[in-house]
Amino acid sequence: MGLGDALREEMRFKDGKMLNAKFSQYRVPRFKDVPEIETVLVNRPDLASVGAGETPIIGIAPAVANALYNATQTRIRSLPIRDLRFRAVG
């Protein structure tokens, strides 16, 4: 979800109307678009039940932008990050 926010997802508007209001036009990452994820379950009976991942999502876009800055010395200040200059950055 965080990579989708950082690299793809955007609501596009023109004249006050949403241009991509259909899910078929809204580009979210698919399983084929993201790396394999290893899940590690930690048994912590001493802690109360809490969320499993929603909060850390907000750090992914700044991390991607900072990685691109370190690689290119160009600051990214808007999302999604889709500038063609950065496609070559591995």
Looking at residue 34, what DSSP letter applies?
Answer: S
54 assigned to active site: yes
Choosing from 9, 36, 38, 54, the catalytic residue is 54
Rg (CA), the chain: 17
Q: What's the burial of 72, exposed, middle or buried (CB within 10 Å: 0-12/13-18/19+)?
A: middle
Please give the structure tokens belonging to residue 7: 């690299």
| Residue 35 in tokens | 């790396």
Residues marked active site are found at 54
